[in-house]
Each structure stands twice: as C-alpha cells, then as structure tokens.
Amino acid sequence: MSSNKVIVIIDDEFIILESLSIQINLILPANIMLEAASSGEESIQLINELHKNGNELILVISDFNLDDMKGTEVLKHSISLFPKLRKIILTGQADSAIIADFKNEYGLDAIINKPWNFEEIKEIILESVLP
Amino acid sequence: MKIFGSISFKIWIYFSSILFISSAIVIYYFPNQQKQSILKYRGNELTELSRTIALGVELSLDVNDFQKLNKSLGYYRNKKSEFDFLVVTQKKSDSEKEEIFSQISDSVKFNFYAIDTSKYLIKSAVFSTQIMNGKVIIGLSKNRVNNEVQKTNLPIYIALVFIFLITVILFYVVARNVSAPINVVIYNAKLLQEEKYELFNIEQKKSTDEISQLQNALINLKDSLLLQKLENKNLLENLEDKITERTENLNLTLLKLKEAQDIAELGYYSFYKNLDRFTFSENLEEKLLIKTSEAKKLEYLKSLIDKEYINEFETNFTKQTTEPFSIEVKTLLPDTITGTFKWFAINGKYYKDKQTETDYLSGTIQEITIRKNAEAELRKLSQAVKNSFNSIIITDLNQKITWINDSVLKLTEYSREEIIGNTPKMFQSSETDLETKKIIRESLIARKSFKTEILNVTKNGNKYWLELYIQPIFSERGVAEGFMAVEIDITERKEKDKLILQYISEIESKQKEIVTANESLEIKVADKTRDLEFSILQIQKSQEEIVKKEKMATLGVLIAGIAHEVNTPLGAIKASVDNLEHLFSLEFVKAINTISLDDLKQVLALYTKLNVLSTPSTIIQRQNAKNLLSIISENYPEIENAFVLSKELSSIGFESMNVDLIALLETSNYANIIKTVKLLLNIQRSLKTINEGAVKSGKIIRALNVYSHGTDQEQQTQFNLKENIDNIITLLSNKIKYHATVKNNIPENILLKGFEDELSQVWTNIINNALQASNNKCNIVIDYKNENNLHFISICNDGPKIPDIIIDKIFDEFFTTKKRGEGTGLGLNIVKSIVEKHHGKINCISNEKNTIFTINLPVTKI
C-alpha cells in the first residue's frame, strides 16, 4: 500500500519458513512487513509485485538449495529491482563455490549455516531497518 | 449333211414349202368341198328317188297293184348303182310298229336295224295310202361317195405330183449351178486352210458370172498363199533352229541351277503381299510341306516358325521397303538328322512388277539347320573353353601359341599381345626341372597326350606350380595340326604339401621335447600350486579390502547429503525452541497479565475454532489476506491499517468473511484478541515444528546407523525388504528431493534372508548411479514380483540410456565411465558379487526410455 518496508524470507522447507518467520516477527518493528515464499518462482513473483506496488524491499533471507533454482538467482533478480537490498544466504551445506562467487560479485551480508544463530540475523535486520 | 445346209436346198425348201402348204390347203379344201357338194347332190338325188319311189308305191297301192309295186321295186333292184339299200316300211296304223315291207341290198344278210347310220347317206319319203302307210328309205354309203370324189380329184393329185417333180428339177438345176460350184469353192478354201495346195482342183473359169468370179478369186488367193507359205517356211526354219538352240541352253542352265539349289538346299520364292500369295520353287515346296494353295499364304508360313522368331519374320515380310533383308529363323519343322528343329536363312527384297504395278517380295530361302547346330555346338564348346577356370593354351605344330583363354592372362600375368606368337617356353623359369622339360619335348614329338608337373614363373617373377595336360589336336582328316594344353594351378597344393612335411618333422622333434619337458613340469607344477594357493589368499584379502573401501566411498557420498538433511530440521528445532522461550517468557506472561476474562474467553473460543494444525501455504495466506482486505475496507471503512489486520487474520487462519470474523470485529478489543490467538497458535506451531524436526533428523541418523552398522556381519539375518530400501531412499533424500522421484513398490511383507548391509549397498549403488547419470533428475520405480520361487526386484529409471557398447561391461572390474579419480569402477562389480554371494543374479537392460536393473534372489525358507 504505502511505501512499506518489506523483508522476504525464502525456503522450500515449511518448518524453516514457519519457525524463522515467528522468530523474525517477534523482534520486527511495527512498520516493517514480513513476507514468505516457498519456491524461487513464488519469491520472484512476490518481489515483482512488491516492486510494482511501490514497496521497498530491504532484506532477503534465502535458502541456497531451492526446489526450482538456487537462492543466489533469486537474489540476483532482487538486486536488479532493489539495488540497496541486504542479502543473507541460509544453507545446510558447508561451502559452495557458487555462493562464494556470488559473494565476490554482488556481496552478501551473511552466509548463515543451519542451524542458525538468530543473533546474527537479528543484527542485520535491525541494521537494515535504520533509515 | 451337206445337202440340207446348201443354198439350193434352202431355196428349194422355201419354194416347195410354200407350194406344199398351198397344195395341202387345196387338197384338203377342194375335195372336201367337192365331197360336200357331191354328197348334197347325191342326197338330193336320193331324196328325189325316194319320192319317186314313194309316189310309185302310192300309185301302186292306190290301184292296189302289188304286182306293179313289186315290179317297180324290182326295177330298182337292178339299179343298185345308185344306192346301197332300199327299204320300204309299212305301218298299218298309227298305233302299230313300223315294219319292213321290202328291202333291196347287196348283201343278203343286210339287216336294216343293224346298220350304222353314220356311214350311210339316208333319205326317205313317206307314202300314205288307204291300204298302207310307210316310208321309202334309201341309203347310200358314204364310202361310195368318197370314192367318187377321189376319182374326180385324181387329176388334181396328178397335177400336184407333176408340180412336185418340177420343183425337184428346179432343185437340181440350182444345185448344179449354184451349190455345186460353191461347194467346190468351199472345199478348196478348206484345202487352202489346211494348206493342201496340191489337192487344189479349181480351174480358171472364163465365165463372168459371180460363181466363176469367186472361183477365180480363190485360185489367185491360193497362189499368193503358196508364195507366203514358202517364205514363212524359210523364216520359221531359221527361228526354229535358233529357239531349239536357246531352249537347250536354257534347259541346261535350269538343270544346273536346280542341281545347285538342291545341293545348297536353297530355293527361291516370291510373295505378292496384296494377294497374300506365295510361289515357291519345287524343292522349297517339298521342304516347307506346301501341299495346297492354302499353304501358299503368309499365315501358313508363320505357323511354321518358332515363336521367338515370328516377330522378325513378320516385320520383314510386311515392311515393304526396297532395302534387302536377310534373317535366320528357327522353325517348328523337326529335323531328323540332328534331332532338333530346322533353321532357314531367308533373303528378300521388294520389287515392282512393271506390268501390274504391284509390289512383290522375291528372294531365297535356304536350309541352314546343320550350320546352326554346328554353330551352337561351337558356341557351347568355345564358351566352356574360354571361361574355364583352368588355363587353356592352343599352339600350332611348332608350338607357337595361337589361342589362349582369359585364365592364362591371370595366371601368367602377361598380356595377350605378349603371349600370342610365342612358345610356352616363355613361362618357364631357370628353376624349371630339366627332366620335366625333356619329357615334354619327347612327348610332343611323338604326338602323344601326356600329363606332368612343371614349375613356371609369372611376368613379375612369381613362381607357380602347374599340373600340365597336353594333347595333340587333329584336323578332320586326322592330321595333327597343333597342341592343346590345359593347366591347373597347383601352387597352393604344393605349398601345403611342403608345410605338411615341415609340420610332421616339427611334430616329431616336439614330441621328444615334450617327453623331457613333462618330467620337469611335474616338479614345477607342484611349486606353482603352492604359489597359486598363496596368491589366492592374497587376492581374497585385497578383495575384501576393496569392498570395504568401496563401501566407505559410498558412505562418504551419503554423508555429504545427510549433513544437509540433518541440519535443516535442527535449524527449525533450534529456532522453534528459541521462539518458545521468547513466547513463553515475554509474550505469554504479558498476555496473561493484561487480558480480561471476557477477552480470554473469546480468545479461547476462537483458538479452539481456528485450531488449524497445518498452516496454509504462503501463497494461500497472501490470497486470503487480499480477500480479507477488500472485504474489510468495504465493510469496515473506519478500520485503520486494514492491510496489517488482514495479514494477521489470514495468518491465524481466516480465509474470508464469516460469522466468527464479524463477531470478532464487533468487539472493541479485537486487536488484542487477535494478537493473543496468534500467540497461542505460534506456541502450538513451534512445538509441532520441534516434533517434526526431531522425527526427520532421527530418521536419517537411524538410516545411517543401519547402513554402516554390521559391516562385520558374520551371519545372515532376516530383514524386511521394503524397509531396507526405504532406508536407502531416506539416506539419499537430499539428492532425490529436488528434481527426482523414487517410488518403492515393494510389498510390506517381503522378508529376505541375507547380509542386510551388503544388500543395502546394492540398492544404494544402483539408485545413486541413476541419480548421478541423470543429474538428479530421473524418476525411479522399484517393483517386485515373485516367480518360480525367486524374488524379482527391478529398479527402473528413466534416465539416459546406457550405450550398447558398454552395457556388457558395466559389471566388469574397474570399468567406469567417470573421469579419472572420480570413481573406483568397482561399484557395480561389487554389487554383482554381492548378489551372486546371495545365490542370485543381476542383469541390466537399457533403451532410450528406461534403464532397468533386475535382481533375482532365491526365496529361502525362513
């Protein structure tokens, strides 16, 4: 509606989406919206719509191994619409050349392994909320 | 007869005919008239006489003077010259019959009643007296009248005869003066015709009448004819001489021609196409069996010809160009000499008959059966010789080569030009045996057939052995005119013979070696056996190690995937635990402290109603939020932040406007209620998440435990096949879950007896291979059937086809399609040995659509 600030979380495991969104909502400031998507395609559509409606996407937290694509691809698309976007990759695997490459090229605010320490995420959220 | 045809006769006959006809008329008519007149006259006389007599009778009777009567009657008896009979009848009265009173006749026997009235002229007169009535009847025979008539006519007849005689005289005169000289002329003209000039007997007549002139003219004619005849005779004689000569020559020529034709079996023919008519020379008619005129037609000839040649024959005979043609045709006429059919050579050319302006075909037909058969024979033989696989050389008496077949070129490698004209010595080599050469020389001189072996050399220096058959060739007269050599290449055979000898000697020496070798061998074998036994033990040991290594390698592959699979639920659990901590310590306590009892009631009621155990998906949530937003903005425009509200409502499970929602929105404190409900839900959801996560991670760990446990299994155990495979699927779920599917159709109740962990390796390897080959994008189906007391387990994937050239090798040791260092190449090999260890079999078939691994294991009694 109005120029709301939005955070988007993306993971194909529902238990992750649910637990993480409860976590985030507990510390999220009032004027920030949290949206969730469970596939790459869904997330891209969502982000496009947010952009259309004039929202400001401030942070994307995405799982690396999505069903239909890699999380880095979603991030790439998001950057094209919201260049100042903060980005977090959530992954269950130790390392990946793809993630490293992406970090080198576009920068990542964090690469967080599962199970995650929420403090790290919380910090980045609060930073991103600051005007 | 001459007389009847002559002019005299004609004249006479005309004349006399007229005369006779006239006479005949006269003769008939005149006497007849006379007769009638006389009859009439006599009749009248008789009538008068009868009247007179009647009168006399009357008078007599009137005076009753019967004497007078008789006297008068007697008077008339003497007058018989005037009648033949006289009869007086009386009739006494009317009623009585008439009777004869008196009669007078020549004959006494005359009976009036018996007369033939037609032969008599009968007249009567009636008398009537007082005494007697009656008639006087007088009869006169008509013959008498005729005689009279005749007598009267006699002169006429005589006159007629006289006239007739005159005509005869006339006839004679005419005959003599006309017919006779004319006959003479005729006779002599005939003589002239017949050229019997010497019998000519007319003399020159001086008279100038027509007949004499005619005769004179004939005499002149005769003279000129005689002259001409003489001239002609001379001419004719000359001509005759010439013609005789020519005819003789012609006959001679014809005879010679016929002889020649017969010898050559040649005949001539001509054919008029328009009339469809042939004419043949005699010898042809015989040969072609031409017996009737029907046979001299085109159709008949066609019927004699063999069907292969009919077309050619017909075309040429009907073509009608002026170009000559020459064909050879086979006929259906049997030839007894050769036992085949007759052949004929036909020549022909179209000519124009100038007289009739028609075209006709003319030419010769010659029988060529013998030649044709000879040609066929020759063809056969020459082909046999030409195409013979063996080399055939024909030379003259001086051994100069006159003919070779193609095999010679191949054998000797010389060209035809190089060979023809040379002697066969050109093929011999320096190594050719001298003894053989001598035999050849002597046999040739003796003109005897012989056989020998000889070593020759080709143009390029290659040696070859030949079996040589040489025989002299004789002419028809039996004189030798050359030689024929048939050569068979026996180089191979010679070499083989040599080899055989070689082998035999080798074998003999080898045999000796074998005996000695045998002795030392036995000692060596014992040693080797010991070594071998040791090696086997080594191999077995390394095999076991390799299997272990392979298993570890597989395990390594699995673990990478497992880590991810465990971390995800752990993450969710941790987050949920954090959330619970937060929710309980902060939110829940706050809520309890601040909420009113009424609100609490509402909260609990709503919470119970909205007890959604499964949260709707993010997409649905958003959709619901949109719906609710539009409903709320419409119906409750006073509500601020409807956007956030609709989000909250959808997150706790509202989809659209309903009673509960309306009731809720009526409440003044609805914001708080919603918040509290959400709190409770979040607590519940977090607990659920923890449970789920724990289950998931437990499963994987357990699977791993099962997989790695019992690597040192010593004994076979009984286990559930479905669970065994499910385990593997779980362990590989990280690879499977994104783009692949695995369907386990193994029935629940199948129990196997064996080494569970080893069989786990089998499923793992096969499924992992499929995933790897398809980049984790295939669909795998695991099926089961029980047949012939065997478990059949099939693992089918729709990944890429295993190429035909390698499918037989996939179970081989160290066979791999992966890059160096990527795989041991032992995976399927070990799988195979595990299956076989369980007394089972494994095979693989692969096509564009599916790759199927089928493992069968014996059903063991449990």
- Chain A nearest C-alpha distance from B695 (Å): 12
- Chain A nearest C-alpha distance from B697 (Å): 12
List B residues 708-767 in contact with A (Cβ-Cβ < 8 A). Answer: 737-739
Domain boundaries, position B37? 6-165
Q: Which of B478, B473, B454 is nearest to B393 (CA)?
A: B473
CB-based contact B617 A38, cutoff 8 Å? yes
Write down the pLDDT at residue B614.
64
Could you say which of B582, B644, B738 has the minimum Cβ distance to residue A67?
B738
- Chain B nearest C-alpha distance from A8 (Å): 11
- Give the Å distances, CA to CA, from B667 to B313, B769, B787: 126, 63, 71
Q: What is the pTM of this model?
A: 0.43
Cis peptide before B324 (omega within 30 of 0): no
Using CA coordinates, name the residue in chain A closest to B574: A115
CB-based contact A19 B563, cutoff 8 Å? no
What's the residue count for chain B?
Answer: 862
* pLDDT category of residue A67 using cuts at 50, 70 and 90: confident
CATH code of B98's domain: 3.30.450
DSSP class of residue B859 equals: P
* pLDDT category of residue A6 using cuts at 50, 70 and 90: very high
CATH code of B292's domain: 3.30.450.20
Could you say which of B567, B689, B737 has the minimum Cβ distance to residue A19?
B689
B686: chain A residues, CB-CB within 8 Å: 19, 22
Query: From start to end of B447-506, where are the E strands?
Result: 450-457, 463-474, 480-489
Counted across chains A and B, CB pairs separated by less than 8 A come out at: 90
- Chain B nearest C-alpha distance from A95 (Å): 11
Same structural domain for residues B466 and B326? Answer: no
Q: Which of A130, A125, A112 is nearest to A21 (CA)?
A: A125
Q: Is B643 on the interface with A (CB under 8 A)?
A: yes
Using CA coordinates, name the residue in chain A closest to B693: A15
CB-based contact B685 A42, cutoff 8 Å? no
- Chain A nearest C-alpha distance from B835 (Å): 34
Q: Which of A19, A39, A52 to mutate to test the interface with B (most CBs of B within 10 A)?
A: A19
- Chain A nearest C-alpha distance from B564 (Å): 5
CB-based contact A33 B570, cutoff 8 Å? no
Same structural domain for residues B16 and B102? Answer: yes
User: Burial code of B550-563, b = ≥16 C-beta within 10 A, e = fewer?
Assistant: bbeebbebbeebbe
Collapsed DSSP state (helix, strand, coil) of residue B360: strand
As for how many domains chain A has, the answer is 1
Domain edge (last residue) among B116, B143, B165: B165
CB-based contact B575 A33, cutoff 8 Å? no
Q: Which of A22, A33, A45, A69 to mutate to test the interface with B (most CBs of B within 10 A)?
A: A22
Query: From start to end of chain A, where are the E strands?
Result: 5-10, 32-37, 56-63, 86-91, 110-113
Q: How far is Cα B650 from Cα B657, in angstroms, rounded to an integer?
A: 11
CB atoms within 10 A of CB A84: 9
Q: How far is Cα B270 from Cα B351, in angstroms, rounded to an integer?
A: 10
Could you say which of B567, B644, B689 has the minimum Cβ distance to residue A113?
B567
As for how many domains chain B has, the answer is 5
Q: Is B615 on the interface with A (CB under 8 A)?
A: yes
Same structural domain for residues B277 and B369? Answer: yes
Could you say which of B565, B568, B615 has the minimum Cβ distance to residue A16?
B568
Using CA coordinates, name the residue in chain A closest to B734: A65
Could you say which of B571, B619, B737 has the minimum Cβ distance to residue A115?
B571
Q: Is B396 on the interface with A (CB under 8 A)?
A: no
B858 Cβ contact list (under 8 Å, min separation 6): B789, B790, B791, B838, B839, B840
Q: Is residue B320 part of a domain?
A: yes
Same structural domain for residues B85 and B150? Answer: yes
Write down the pLDDT at residue B657.
82
A14: chain B residues, CB-CB within 8 Å: 615, 617
Domain boundaries, position A47? 5-129
Q: Is residue B516 part of a domain?
A: no
Query: In the predicted model, what is the mean pLDDT of residues A108-116?
Result: 87
How much is the ipTM here?
0.91
Write down the pLDDT at residue A94.
60
Q: Which of A1, A18, A24 to mutate to test the interface with B (most CBs of B within 10 A)?
A: A18
CB-based contact B582 A37, cutoff 8 Å? no
Write down the pLDDT at residue B821.
58
Write down the pLDDT at residue A43.
94
Structure tokens at B556: 């390594």
Q: Is residue B435 part of a domain?
A: yes
Same structural domain for residues B721 and B831? Answer: yes
CB-based contact A23 B574, cutoff 8 Å? no
Same structural domain for residues B312 and B416? Answer: no
- Chain B nearest C-alpha distance from A78 (Å): 19
Q: Which of A3, A10, A12, A15 to mutate to test the interface with B (most CBs of B within 10 A)?
A: A15
Q: How far is Cα B428 from Cα B437, in angstroms, rounded to an integer?
A: 9
Burial class (CB in 10 A: 0-12, 13-18, 19+), A36: buried
Dmax of chain B from CA atoms? 235
A113: chain B residues, CB-CB within 8 Å: 567
Using CA coordinates, name the residue in chain B closest to A13: B568
* pLDDT category of residue A1 using cuts at 50, 70 and 90: very low
Q: Is residue B606 part of a domain?
A: no
- The stretches of B583-658 forming alpha helices (DSSP H) are 589-594, 597-609, 618-635, 642-652
Name residues of chain B where pLDDT drops below 50: 1
Same structural domain for residues B431 and B477? Answer: yes
Orientation of helix B491-582 relative to helix B670-708, angle to 10°: 140
Same structural domain for residues B111 and B62? Answer: yes
Indicate the helix (H) or strand (E) that contains B299.
helix B298-304
Could you say which of B571, B587, B618 has the minimum Cβ distance to residue A36?
B618
Q: How far is Cα B622 from Cα B411, in angstroms, rounded to an integer?
A: 97
A64: chain B residues, CB-CB within 8 Å: none
What are the tens digits of pLDDT across the range B264-286?
878 888 888 888 888 888 888 88
What's the residue count for chain A?
Answer: 131
β-bridge partners, B814 = none
Q: Is B297 on the interface with A (CB under 8 A)?
A: no
Collapsed DSSP state (helix, strand, coil) of residue B250: helix
Q: How far is Cα B464 from Cα B431, in angstroms, rounded to an integer?
A: 11
CATH code of A13's domain: 3.40.50.2300
Dmax of chain A from CA atoms? 40
CATH code of B854's domain: 3.30.565.10
CB atoms within 10 A of CB B679: 19
Write down the pLDDT at residue B516.
84
A17: chain B residues, CB-CB within 8 Å: 618
Q: Is residue B694 part of a domain?
A: no
- Chain A nearest C-alpha distance from B571 (Å): 3
Instruction: Give CA angle at B13 (B8, B16), nearest 5°.
Output: 120
Q: Is residue B810 part of a domain?
A: yes
Q: Is residue B659 part of a domain?
A: no
CB-based contact B565 A94, cutoff 8 Å? no
Write down the pLDDT at residue B192.
84
Same structural domain for residues B362 and B427? Answer: no
CB A7 within 8 A of CB A59: yes
Same structural domain for residues B208 and B327? Answer: no
Q: Is B578 on the interface with A (CB under 8 A)?
A: yes
Q: How far is Cα B14 from Cα B19, in angstroms, rounded to an integer?
A: 9
Same structural domain for residues B11 and B156? Answer: yes
B644: chain A residues, CB-CB within 8 Å: 33
Q: How far is Cα B41 from Cα B35, in angstroms, rounded to an integer?
A: 9
Q: Is residue B473 part of a domain?
A: yes
Same structural domain for residues B274 and B341? Answer: yes
Could you say which of B618, B643, B738 has the minimum Cβ distance to residue A37?
B618
CB-based contact B574 A113, cutoff 8 Å? no
Pairing of strands A86-91, A110-113: parallel
